[in-house]
Amino acid sequence: MPGVETAAVALNADVGARHESEIENGLAHLFEHMVFKGTRSRSARAIAEAIEDVGGSLNAWTSRDSTVFHARILGADLPLAVELVGELVMDPRFDEDDLVKEREVVLSEIGEALETPDDLVFDNLQTVAFPGQALGRPILGTAASLAGLDRAALLRWRDDKYRGPGLVLAAAGQVDHDRLVGQAQALFGTIPHEARAVTEPAQWGGGLLPDGKHGEQLHVALAFSGPDALAPGYYAAQLFATALGGGMSSRLFQELREERGLAYSVSASHSPHSDIGVLSLYFASRPKDGPAALALLRDVAQATARTLDKAELARAKAQIKAGILMGLEGCGGQSDWLGRSILTFGRILPPAEAVAAIEAATLDDVRRIGIEMLASAPALAAVGPGADRLAA
């Protein structure tokens, strides 16, 4: 990126919580935590000091489909950031005493999530949408599953799951490409090239999961099956979700909040996993308003699928295009785009190609995919007083 003084680098792995067995639940996330506890050449403190001595940052995150280790740094110090990212994954210490302490940290994180109803409702939504599957289990795991995860499990996870075909090292900003490739070969050249075992295909469920124990406000999330990122209807699904609940001008925001005053928070989104998508509709309301808000939510969604107009579609296209292009103006956004597109499409997807696909979606395309998604079995999760009074 000419004229940029900084750089971002990330190791993107196509492995996450959905690749765990039931007894391994939480292992992908625990692995991400434990690599920061020290390597065979650096302690946890030494890792933190190494990146912060040069003004950089180093972090990671785990989702159901992937894990990403990323760093932001001044361009001249990019080799250090690459070295640290590589060291975390390739040479972790996994000390037993550190593991005992880090389990407690993750248990605190689980406790926080359980006390955050607007997060909990989406975990519960995954559970009811994908019953009995890794895709439906919480990313953080549970107290019971964490208790059974030891050093051997962490090493086995790295050796079994972190394999060449599913890893992408991506960097953007002030980058010397040839030097980056050479460093990557030195750091990651011993990673096995064989692909890992095929992931169990997602099976959409549906139904209701009420939880009335939390808080004073009612949080409700309703989901339907949608297309994955490689499916022909993917961009149409993104446009439908944006028009339905992607901003203050969306139908859900205007109807539930502005016109009826039934909810403070209201939104819709379409999120792709590797082999299926999830259309999620969400609102938070007073318990007494929950049934009316849910009924209106359903009505507005169905009406949008039938009557979406050209102006709404044009607005949704502008929102999504702006989100893509604005995100690509920074090094982190560029690096993330590179890593995600190679793992998803097997190539670097030019932003112009994504924009062209968005522009090509017609009103009929978007209405059709909306009708198709809303025809799938609904998955409903509700957290807070009155949750058990709602019907799927």
Radius of gyration of the chain (CA): 22
Q: Please state the separation of Cα 273 from the chain's center in Å.
A: 9
Alpha helices in 133-176 (DSSP H): 143-147, 151-161
**In contact, 380 and 209? CB cutoff 8 Å:** yes
Least Cα distance to 331 among 82, 7, 61 occurs for: 7
DSSP string for 196-248: -PPPPPP----EEEEE--S-SSEEEEEEEEE--TTSTTHHHHHHHHHHHHSST
Q: Which of 32, 87, 102, 372 is catalytic?
A: 32
- Decide if 32 is catalytic: yes
Partners of 70 in beta bridges? 10, 59
Strand 379-383 to 218-226 pairing: antiparallel
**In contact, 284 and 264? CB cutoff 8 Å:** yes
Q: What's the rounded Cα separation, in Å, for the pair 304 and 367?
A: 8
Partners of 320 in beta bridges? none
Query: Which residues are designated catalytic?
Result: 32
